[in-house]
Structure 1
Amino acid sequence: MKWFSSLGHLVLVLLAGALLGWYLGSAVAGALVAAVLMLLFSSYQAWLVEHWLRDSSQKLPDVHGHWADIVGHIYRQERHANTSIKQLQSTVDYLLDSFGAMRDGVVMLEDGDSIRWCNDAARKILGLRYPQDVGQAVTNLVRAPDFNAYIHAGEFREPLTFQVGGEHKVHLMLVATRFAEGDTLLFVRDISDRVNTERMRRDFVGNVSHELRTPLTVITGYLGTLLTDTSKLPPPYIRALEQMAGQAERMENLLKDLLWLTRIETTEREEKNEQVDIGSLLYELQDEMTNLHPDNPLQLQIDCSDRIQGDYRELYSAVSNLVINAYKYGRAGRPVLATWSREGDDYRLSVVDEGAGIDPLHIPRLTERFYRVDDSRSSATGGTGLGLAIVKHVAAAHAGRLEIKSTLGKGSTFTLVFPGRA
């Protein structure tokens, strides 16, 4: 063992000193002198090592014994550490270069909201400066209340859409995630083109729907007048006029649904402060269905008296669409059940029918506009293909979701799930 070898060297030196001292007349004095010389030599080597440690870029010190072992061990550890640091730095440089090449803005935050690094895109999108803004709070530099509230809240489960700029607003989407020990990584994307395109689409649909309503009203008015007294009309004309009236009514329903869907989309992000009694809404809908289906009234099961925060008209339209669909596509004479309950933190409103059911292949696309499981069947029932799209958007506007379960030959269950709010 190395310590035993060093101890052996010490003993040999002391014995040599003692022998020399004995020869000169005092063995003890000789051993003491040898010990002092060994101590001075060891101190000198310690000084060489300490001097090298202050600046390890110098050449290795000329030391011996256990000091040489210590220096060798430190040197190997240093080389290993330098290799690891270079590899780590290479990885960091590669990561920063990758982030720097992105079109989306990337910002690294530390200590809560202090800027550590950002790429060129973030400087353009958010108006940041690098490296001048390093250490500054990003919430002091980005003047957007929604952005600041989002960062301070620290709840990053959902992305944030917000606006910046003065007269010409820029629409941005922010995705944030935690990494390391409390640091935050922000990804910012300019979605102005997408927002403007969506606005143009809604405006187009709304404008076209408004423009079509006037000529359609005129057409339906004349058709109604002609069909009031059909005694003087040839039978082929009567059949043609009745078909025209039916298609005109269907077109009116389509325009109404388009306008209503556009209105829901426009106000989807607005806060809804009305306290809605879902139980009363279901009783009102039950009365309406009783008039339409006197032999098969809507059955209700209300297990909750809580009110939810929302918009009564939107919620009524969503639930009525589900109930009307249940009657349309359910088996004639079979009951339709609407339930309202609370399960855990969620409120659940379900509409259950005993119809033919829906193939699971179609369920993921049911809420798409104008999507039809069976074109011939949908045409026969007079549907517009927008009912479930309206339901989906109403659910989203109330921070909820639509769940669909169906079994072929047994029926379907459509459930609106709303989160409970403190």
Structure 2
Amino acid sequence: MTAQVIRALLLALLSIVVALPVGHFYAPWAGWVVFCGGLGLQMLFHFRNFARLDRWSRAPVVDSSLEGEGAWDGIFGRLYRHEKDLRAQIARRDAEIAMLIAAGQALTDGVVLLDNQNQILFCNTTAEMQLGLVVKTDRGQPVVNLVRQPEFVAYLTDEDFSRPLTLRSDRNEDRVLSIYVIPYAGDRRLMQIKDVTQTDRLDRMRRDFVANVSHELRTPLTVLAGFLETLQEIEVDREEQARYLAMMSEQSLRMQSIVQDLLTLSSIESAPPPDNEPVDMVNMIDKLRRDAEALSAGRHTVVVETDGQGDLRGSEPELVSAFANLVSNAVRYTPPGGTIRISWRASSQGAEFAVQDTGIGIDPKHIPRLTERFYRVDRGRSRDAGGTGLGLAIVKHSLSRHQAQLDIKSTPGLGSRFAARFPASRVAGI
């Protein structure tokens, strides 16, 4: 500003220098006219640039044509550079905000930002799906107006966020959510939503497994303890003693079978990936047929069907265990006179091992849970048939380690078909 003041004073001094001779030699009024004209021109020059500045300030843009004259050129230049720098800063800030929003949208956990009134400021796509929100229309709405489950409302109202809230979604009862509320930025809150459905399912399966193991072992142990107590305290004849010992032996074998199946299942789950060696399916199918006939003891018709000469790649003991379980189940649950059909088909597109029976069949509602440990459609019938409740769990784990799928089709009263389908990568010899 110092240079501009000096420039203005010099122009005023120049007007005085010109006006004095005119007023002295011509007429005083003429001198005053020259002096005022000089000041007017100077004022007009500044007013013109000031008007341009006023127009620009109403709609500031980064315009390289924004130029002034004289001292105004420096002012306009600084304004241009300042506006350019400011817009660059805004662009960088917008880019950073966009990156943060994109990162929030990419999270697999739900995120909802709330103000001090629990009104929605932002939520990502995951939270929209988990809670049924729509950020475009729900922004600014209290979240308790949209998620009205009493336990959720009470959790936000009590404001005790030391523990997360476990919430079973009312939109999908199979989905379990864990909700954390974290205060931030003074009076705002960040709500983090984790989908813990799988963890909850595993915990439930673990609890059921422990309970089922305890239940399955308690019965034979009770029988053994009861007979031992009877034999120790009561004199019984040899025939009765032999009957007791036979029942004790039966229960001991049952416990042994349960423990053996548990060990088999545990070894499969903890074993390294299966081998990729070819398994001779002709010999395996023949062995399975002989085992089925031995278990049936002539009560059933056992039929073998093969299509294709391909073999499987994998662990022979695991595959034998899986297939033998399917065959033995078919024999156990098929009344005398029924038919057990063992089939093997292999091609360049994949392979299928299937066991079909004409047995009692299974209600469709039970099929999704058949491969759970100790799950039984009819506990009494399963025990009478000699099953441990772990056979299909062993089948499922053995097949999954060979990238195979177990397909179950059944009609009550007509029979069942269990098919293990293998991908082409597991077929050898074609």
Q: TM-score, normalised by structure 1?
A: 0.48
Q: TM-score, normalised by structure 2?
A: 0.48
Largest Rg, 1 or 2? 2
